[in-house]
Amino acid sequence: MIFIFSNMVSLDYFLTLSIILFSIGVIGVLIRRNAIIIFMSIELMLNSVNLSLISFSSFMGDSQGQILVFFVMAVAAAEAAVGLAIIIALFRNKETINIDEINILKW
Amino acid sequence: MENIQLILYTVFGVLAIFSAIMMITRRNPIASALWLIFNFFMISGLYFLLRAQFIAIIQILVYAGAIMVLFIFVIMLLKLTDEKKLSEIMTYQKITAILFSILLMALLVFTVYVNFADKYTEISTEAETISKAENLGRELFLKYAFPIEAIGLLLLATIVGAVVLAKKKFE
């Protein structure tokens, strides 16, 4: 990579970091079987998208990216609350959070 | 001055990637959650580097404070005795998934590199003024007043939904 040797922190640095974190989140969703860890990987992916939004906002001098981050955070909080409630309800009924065993909606 | 920024970026970035990898590989969900909190702090440091100070504080308050406490509470509420038996073995399916994720990462990095290399090399001079709480609050409550109301409704629906879902019996 050429941009490692330049001396300035430019936009592509932050975008690259955001992409790496997003891909780690994708790997976490795909390889883990524990529903809570899959959920945390989704939070990681939301965070990496927030990072790219903030870096665009700062480098272009536009506040709309930061406004969008607020809404993403609010939706992430709502999603976490409902998702964890679903996990609790599932655990009460099936005594497991292994997603391979939660397959009653599978045809 | 730019050198210090580069060093800080490297430290925060490497620690963020490291903690993310630790997060998806730990067996114990509590350890995973703690690594994720560490990752959120590192990303907050990157926000400070991008001169988005208000978002950085909100990141710590909302993500590391509120959401992760919720996660840890739920992990402790569930009696995960069979957690050790959870099959986390490497199958061909998972190895293929990892390979395709890395392919996705390479594709995205390539796209970014083609489109954004040597463009936007410096943080905008307005970055400090636009990320003040004053400016963001004015924009949120004047220009984006309707989305704020919609988010309020969404949070209300979430509270009701979470209580209904986690109730003892449906009936």
**Shortest Cα distance, chain A CAs vs residue B24, angstroms:** 5
Q: Which of A34, A69, A75 is nearest to A48 (CA)?
A: A69
Which of B24, B58, B94 lies at the smallest CB-CB distance from A73?
B58
How far apart are the C-alpha atoms of A40 and B33, rounded to whole Å? 7
Q: What pLDDT, on a 0 to 100 scale, did the predictor assign at position A1?
A: 45
The predicted-structure confidence for A9-36, as pLDDT tens digits, reads as follows: 889 999 999 999 999 999 999 998 888 9
Q: Inter-chain contact B161–A77, Cβ cutoff 8 Å?
A: no
One DSSP character per residue, A11-54 reads HHHHHHHHHHHHHHHHHHHHH--BHHHHHHHHHHHHHHHHHHHH
Please report, for chain B, the start and end positions of each structural domain, with discontinuous segments joined by +.
Answer: 1-78+121-126, 132-171
Give A107→chain B minimum CA distance, Å: 20
Mean pLDDT of chain A, nearest integer: 88
Cα A16 to Cα B114: distance, rounded to the nearest angstrom: 12
Q: Exposed (0-12), middle (13-18) or buried (19+): which is A89, by Cβ within 10 Å? A: middle
> Which residue carries 């955070």 as its tokens?
A73
In B70-89, the residues whose Cβ lies within 8 Å of chain A are 70-71, 74-75, 77-78, 80, 82-83, 86-88
Domain boundaries, chain A: 11-94
Q: Is B140 on the interface with A (CB under 8 A)?
A: yes
Give the pLDDT score at B167. Answer: 81
- With bands split at pLDDT 50, 70 and 90, how would you rate the model's confidence at A3? very low
Report pLDDT digits (tens) over B62-71.
Answer: 999 999 999 9
pLDDT reading at B81 higher than 80: no
Q: Which fold is adopted by the domain B1-78+121-126?
A: Four Helix Bundle (Hemerythrin (Met), subunit A) (1.20.120)
Pairwise CB contact (< 8 Å): B2 & A26: no
Structural fold of domain A11-94: Helix Hairpins (1.10.287)
Question: Hey, what are B171's tokens?
Answer: 């009936």
Inform me whether the pLDDT recorded for A2 exceeds 50: no
Q: Supply the ipTM of this predicted assembly.
A: 0.90
Q: Do A77 and B127 count as a contact with CB atoms less than 8 A apart?
A: no
Confidence at A38, pLDDT banded by 50, 70, 90: very high
Closest CA–CA distance from residue A78 to any residue of chain B (Å): 6
Residue B2 has a pLDDT of 60
Which residue among B50, B54, B135 sits closest to A58, beta carbon to beta carbon? B50
End-to-end CA distance of chain B: 64
Share of chain B above pLDDT 70, in %: 92
Strand positions, DSSP E, B69-124: none
